Structure 1
């Protein structure tokens, strides 16, 4: 069904239009489409547009639909054009008259969203990006009720810090720093979720009395030195994402991935060296680009820089004229991603589309 939907809304435009441009509908887009349970506005937009994030342009022109979020399973949508040739989706009123029971059985909660959290939840990780100063203020695991280095489910751990009784906590381990490849600035540290637990003694740090926590589940062994945070802190995400292009130009780099693999693909989570201070927001859709291989031209003709000798690379760097030059090739699009969690200097995104495997070091880009 998603493939079918993707064929029907992905045709809004092949490029970002100016205000004077007309949205370009896909050649294979249907003239009519009946909304099915499980559809999202993003899916439907992808059926009609090559760039689904332009869906507001397709629905905003619709005089029948003040709020395009309130489209229900069973609604029949028709693709029409206004007097200026602009495409829009409208609810087919004739179809509604033939099917009077459809709307009556639907409740407000059944309206379809843009992209529901549940679609991507199975692929999301619980890692966070925290400042070292923040991590240093968190309650710390001192040890367990038995002399073990690796603590598992049902163990009791003792914590340096004042905890709230009956509160659930996430148990984290400080990971590698996120470093900006452009400035070498430390943007934050990875906080890796290793387990969860529930506090049953509050503790008194001033008198060296530890808090007590029973480990409820563990993704990895809990260790001395791990730290605790309230279970939901930093994990709250919107029920659905309003996927759209940023309103300002943005460029940056993929600096890490949750899988730690060299190459990754659709539905993998990546880390970007851009965040709230760069006007990044949850739901932003960005292009992933990669620089084509650099070519050096010498007396023996063009060669890829990696295949050229040190002498040829040196001469191309210091050479003059057309006989010895280094050519920096353009960056080409290799995929798309959507931001879902934003911090001050770092954000997490999920890869939504790939033309070829994505890599750490690929760039993100949006031109307006």
Structure 2
């Protein structure tokens, strides 16, 4: 238990980190704040910090606190003095606060994953009574799961997106693409390719480097239990569906149910490693949109391979445009950046958009929640260190 108004941070301590935190205290912070149900760590820290992702550094400054992240409804935060932050313990009758509302990300935690491939996975080959769809209480017949035992549980998943990225040599820029897939994992005819159609069937661009597959997004549509294994004269096992959510169809894939597939607590922090310029971009916005705002979920073209983990905060930037220099060359229509034969282009600076916090990480793709923004976040926008100024 916390002692009453135990000092968590003493800015006057003779450490460089203490002075850094002091500089990040907002001048408009309240003297005290009583934590309420429904609050988040991000929202509360934004009340008195210029950089909400510095919350963990503040509470970890005092080693006497066993778990500096656990702030509960009823706790009283005191900022009466500029040289300290203190907490008076509340009744501890409810769950501790999270950095973000779980309700905003729970469907993405439970139902989405990213894999390098899916075509080798077992799949639904038929449905009970040869129906077109199946739901809770009905049987589906799975091919490729010969060793499954009665009583084992499996998730039914469906490919929905294909994420790719290339590094274009001529411009030095990264280009990230997402493509909608049908239930078989094939690109939907007529659907936008997110950029260049050649990415689907080509391993390289004419003027760039190889196209890298970042992963396939798999959506969980149901869960089932094995009720009968292989029997003579058949090639499939029987799976009884348990979820009344989305219906299952022939071609859906089967994966084992994971005991703990995701985190439930997130603590905002800056990236632990350097961010490669231009590498991280918004690959997609949830609900098939091309732009989103605060509390919208986005897919990001980077993951654990780039040193990202759950809670990492990044800033979102619109890449600067390249415009014709109509003042110096009013008759120019050139599209490159280099003046030639009296024509030229002007490169404008990147524009700050907002901040995003990662809440689920795979090797090459992550999902993040847009925490704040001054304008919409579009597919293709670049992600940088949260403290970036340009």
Query: Smaller-chain TM-score range?
Result: 0.7 to 0.9
Contact kept, 8 Å, 1:187 with 1:273, in 2: the verdict is: yes
Give 3-state SS (helix, strand or coil) of 2:79's partner: strand
Q: In the TM superposition, what whole-angstrom CA distance separates every residue of 1:134-174 from its partner, at most 9, and x where no partner exists?
A: x2342211101222333344331100113332233221122
Q: Say if 1:350 and 1:75 are closer, same or farther in 2 by CA, change over 3 A.
A: closer
1:217 aligned to 243, 252, 267, which one? 243
Query: Equivalents in 1 of 2:84, 2:96: separation in Å?
Result: 18
Q: What CA RMSD, in Å, does the superposition of the two structures yield over aligned residues?
A: 3.2
Contact kept, 8 Å, 1:64 with 1:90, in 2: the verdict is: no
Measured after TM superposition, the shift of residue 70 of structure 1 is: 4.2
Q: Say if 1:296 and 1:195 are closer, same or farther in 2 by CA, change over 3 A.
A: same
Partner of residue 357, structure 1: 376
Q: In the TM superposition, what whole-angstrom CA distance separates every residue of 1:22-69 from its partner, at most 9, and x where no partner exists?
A: 433223211122233444433321211122111133323457645323
Deviation larger for 338-347 or 57-66: 57-66
Contact kept, 8 Å, 1:249 with 1:365, in 2: the verdict is: no
Normalising by the residue count of structure 1, what TM-score does the alignment of the two structures yield? 0.76
Partner of residue 202, structure 1: 229
Structure 2 residue runs of 5 or longer lacking an equivalent are: 1-10, 167-173, 175-209
| 1:282-301 correspondence runs (5 A) | 282-298=310-326
Query: Equivalents in 2 of 1:119, 1:174: separation in Å?
Result: 24
1:230 aligned to 236, 246, 256, which one? 256
**2:148 equivalent to 1:148:** no
Measured after TM superposition, the shift of residue 127 of structure 1 is: 1.9
Measured after TM superposition, the shift of residue 228 of structure 1 is: 0.8
Does 1 or 2 have the higher relative contact order (CA < 8 Å, sep 6+)? Answer: 2
Partner of residue 54, structure 2: 54
Q: Say if 1:89 and 1:338 are closer, same or farther in 2 by CA, change over 3 A.
A: same
Query: Equivalents in 2 of 1:114, 1:209: separation in Å?
Result: 47
1:328 aligned to 330, 333, 347, which one? 347
1:267 aligned to 278, 295, 305, which one? 295
Contact kept, 8 Å, 1:62 with 1:90, in 2: the verdict is: no
Q: Say if 1:130 and 1:314 are closer, same or farther in 2 by CA, change over 3 A.
A: closer
Give 3-state SS (helix, strand or coil) of 1:53's partner: helix
Query: Equivalents in 2 of 1:257, 1:247: separation in Å?
Result: 25
Partner of residue 179, structure 2: none
Query: Equivalents in 2 of 1:115, 1:129: separation in Å?
Result: 23
Measured after TM superposition, the shift of residue 312 of structure 1 is: 1.5
Measured after TM superposition, the shift of residue 131 of structure 1 is: 1.2
Partner of residue 99, structure 1: none
Query: Equivalents in 2 of 1:314, 1:140: separation in Å?
Result: 48
Partner of residue 96, structure 1: none
Query: Equivalents in 2 of 1:333, 1:269: separation in Å?
Result: 18
Contact kept, 8 Å, 2:32 with 2:80, in 1: the verdict is: no
**2:115 equivalent to 1:130:** yes
2:365 aligned to 329, 346, 365, which one? 346
Give 3-state SS (helix, strand or coil) of 1:217's partner: coil
Partner of residue 9, structure 1: none
**2:234 equivalent to 1:249:** no
Q: In the TM superposition, what whole-angstrom CA distance separates every residue of 1:237-271 from its partner, at most 9, and x where no partner exists?
A: 22210211112222411112331112222222221
Structure 1 residue runs of 5 or longer lacking an equivalent are: 1-11, 93-101, 303-308
Partner of residue 8, structure 2: none
Q: In the TM superposition, what whole-angstrom CA distance separates every residue of 1:107-130 from its partner, at most 9, and x where no partner exists?
A: 6xx463442663534563622111
Contact kept, 8 Å, 2:298 with 2:370, in 1: the verdict is: yes
Query: Equivalents in 1 of 2:101, 2:76: separation in Å?
Result: 25
| 1:54-133 correspondence runs (5 A) | 54-62=54-62, 65=65, 67-79=67-79, 87-91=83-87, 105-106=91-92, 110=94, 112-115=96-99, 118-122=102-106, 124=108, 126-132=111-117
Contact kept, 8 Å, 1:299 with 1:324, in 2: the verdict is: no
Q: In the TM superposition, what whole-angstrom CA distance separates every residue of 1:205-246 from its partner, at most 9, and x where no partner exists?
A: x9853111122335444222211112336x622221021111
Give 3-state SS (helix, strand or coil) of 2:314's partner: strand
Give 3-state SS (helix, strand or coil) of 2:67's partner: coil
Q: Say if 1:289 and 1:18 are closer, same or farther in 2 by CA, change over 3 A.
A: farther
Normalising by the residue count of structure 2, what TM-score does the alignment of the two structures yield? 0.72
Query: Could you list the runs of 4 or more consecutive aligned residues of structure 1 that deviate by over 6 angstroms after TM superposition?
Result: none
**Greater helix proportion:** 1
